[in-house]
Structure 1
Amino acid sequence: MAKLQFSAYSISWIQNIADIDRDEWDALAKPLPTPFLEWDWLRLMELSGSTTAKTGWLPHHLTVRRGSDLVAAAPMYIKGHSAGEFVFDHVWADVAGRMGIAYYPKIIGMSPFTPMSGYRFLIAPSEDGPQLTSVMVAEIDRLCRRHQLSGSSFLFADPQWHQEMLDLGYLGWQHQSYAWLNHGYKNFDDYLTIFNSNQRRNIKRERKAIEKQGMSLKTLTGNSIPRTLFALMYRFYEQTNDKFGPWGCRYLTESFFEGLYDRYRHRLV
């Protein structure tokens, strides 16, 4: 654990989130609208062997204390490749290589293998957020220079935080994504009103075809999810990756799916 004193703050880099108290970390993470920055989720990634030096995802988390209190943190990873990021910078890496520039290793901030907007630094509400963000960015820059990392990037950032980083000199990179949002629909028929008549008819026809196959939908949450379903999830995950061959996204281990039941089912649907 490397430590650096910076004004009123004590800054540390840690390679294992288990070195940070779970309640301390979650006091910063749980108020956010995303569950993918919580201690249990990130710990499971490490414990299952999904994010390790061997897989090219070396945990290198930034923590900031004021006295003995954890006031800020940033889950980050030193990468030796770009796999699992769902941001396709391979052309940049190729151009850098042609110019004799080492593109790897680099450091990124994101929730691993999770292309869902919401990443940001975890900062206590009692702190001056913009000031502390500047302190953390300055330390990340120092780390890059000290260890000859090509640079830092933050993927699938929270929209408001994204603007803060632009103001600090980072460059934005917009990507397309597709997500369904429930805009207060009362029921499925209410949702169908946003489509024209032909679209509604096609959707209803497709749903009837599924019903004829005898399929049904059941929603399970938390403790109502049986352990056997997690083994099934892993099997489906592997089968899907097999279909895509070398273009598959086989990043999560079987141990990760087993750990979902033991450590994270309270957050699952």
Structure 2
Amino acid sequence: MPSFRLHPAIAEIPADQWDALTNGQPTLAHAFLATLEESGCVATATGWAPRHAALWDGNTLLAAMPLYLKSHSYGEYVFDWAWADAYQRHGLNYYPKWLAAVPFTPVPGPRLLGRDASSRRVLIKHVLDEVGQSGASSLHILFPTDEEAGWLQDAGLEVRHGVQFHWHNAGYRDFDDFLSRLAQPKRKKIRQERRKVLDAGVSFRILRGAEIGEVEWTFFHACYSRTYAEHRSTPYLSREFFVEYGHRAGNATVLMIAERAGTPVAASFFLRDADALYGRYWGAADFIPCLHFEACYYQAIDYAIREGLSRFEGGAQGEHKLSRGLEPVRTCSAHWIADPRFRDAVARFLAQERGGVEAYLDELSERLPFRTGD
């Protein structure tokens, strides 16, 4: 009979067994999650108490879920602040809540890791039982696959829809071939933006895996921190996280460093696997017009074409990505609310919201930047 356990540290689960269930996605890798914990970025003190769910057959891991007990809603990219406020106004505690997600990461992918569908469904049942018995307000599973969203809905969770923007490789030969598929005004705008960066004397150095040294990670973290400071916010990830993860991640990391006259002026950080490039963070030491678009989108698209990757995921939100060749895609999350009154209210809200998301997707599909027929 399989046994269910919660683990307060992912280090308790053998890395090879965990990674065997992840299908190679870098944000789900044991190294990524373990470095978040060991660097102190994910910890009870930061509001992320690890409680990773695992289904075991003896010493064999059958299924698992990255799971946390949260004392806030920061770093999630699916917003439930209004739900928390409603709880507070009724004199109830919304926190702690349970969250199945990759911290600080809106990359869609499997959240119910398992050897087969049966073990993953058993895992859902155990997690729901644990959440119900804990007395916490809710369980939230962010950015699961469509298949998982169906399973979660069958298990009694309410499904929520959102929108991200992803670039898809249609077998482009190079960046100019990609541009040729765009409508003339969009093509002209991108060329103008790229020309501004080139005329400013900026070039890019692209490093992957072991090519990224501590000097480069330190520069990137300074840029990354500056971006948060400009928005009067605190960065989630420390320099120590990036340096240590860089040592452990193999070829999953890609750093694009913008330089002018041999001096670094900006950097963008990506993760990649055999199929896709995932945009994560960027920052600049100096303001250069259009450098953000170049560092975060155009260099990424160019890299994906050269590397033969099927897609580039541009991260959360950002309708401005549409005019730059990224297309809208529907994302999912799933939610279980303990209190029946709030559960019904959330279900009604999500039903209305889903209709709005569908209308928004229809609107965006009419504004795609591609030439008619492409």
TM-score by length of 2: 0.65
Q: Secondary structure at the match of 2:165?
A: coil
**Partners of 1:60 and 1:183 in 2: CA distance:** 41
Q: Secondary structure at the match of 1:220?
A: strand
**Partners of 2:56 and 2:65 in 1: CA distance:** 12
Tell me if the contact between 1:9 and 1:64 (Cα under 8 Å) persists in the aligned partners.
yes
Match of 1:17 among 10, 20, 23: 10
What is the CA distance between 1:88 and its match in structure 2?
1.1
What is the CA distance between 1:112 and its match in structure 2?
0.5
Q: Secondary structure at the match of 1:206?
A: helix
Q: Secondary structure at the match of 1:172?
A: strand
Task: Name the aligned partner's letter for residue 22 of structure 1.
Answer: A
Deviations 1:58-98 (A, max 9, x none): 00001111233111111111001000111111001101111
Say whether 1:263 aligns with 2:248: yes
TM-score by length of 1: 0.89
Deviations 1:7-26 (A, max 9, x none): x2111111011111111211
**Larger proportion of strand:** 2
Report matched runs for 1:22-41 at 5 Å: 22-29=15-22, 31-32=23-24, 34-41=25-32
Match of 2:99 in 1: 108
What is the CA distance between 1:249 and its match in structure 2?
5.3
Say whether 1:79 aligns with 2:66: no
Task: Name the aligned partner's letter for residue 118 of structure 1.
Answer: G
Report matched runs for 1:125-140 at 5 Å: 127=116, 129=117, 131-140=118-127
Say whether 1:94 aligns with 2:85: yes
What is the CA distance between 1:48 and its match in structure 2?
0.5
Task: Name the aligned partner's letter for residue 242 of structure 1.
Answer: A
Provide the aligned length of Structure 1 versus Structure 2: 254
**Partners of 2:81 and 2:142 in 1: CA distance:** 15
5+ long unaligned stretches in structure 2: 255-374
**Partners of 1:145 and 1:122 in 2: CA distance:** 21
Tell me if the contact between 1:105 and 1:150 (Cα under 8 Å) persists in the aligned partners.
yes
Deviations 1:160-179 (A, max 9, x none): 22222222221111122223
What is the CA distance between 1:100 and its match in structure 2?
2.5
Higher relative contact order (CA 8 A, sep 6+): 2
Runs of 4+ residues deviating >6 angstroms: none
Tell me if the contact between 1:119 and 1:154 (Cα under 8 Å) persists in the aligned partners.
no
What is the CA distance between 1:265 and its match in structure 2?
4.4
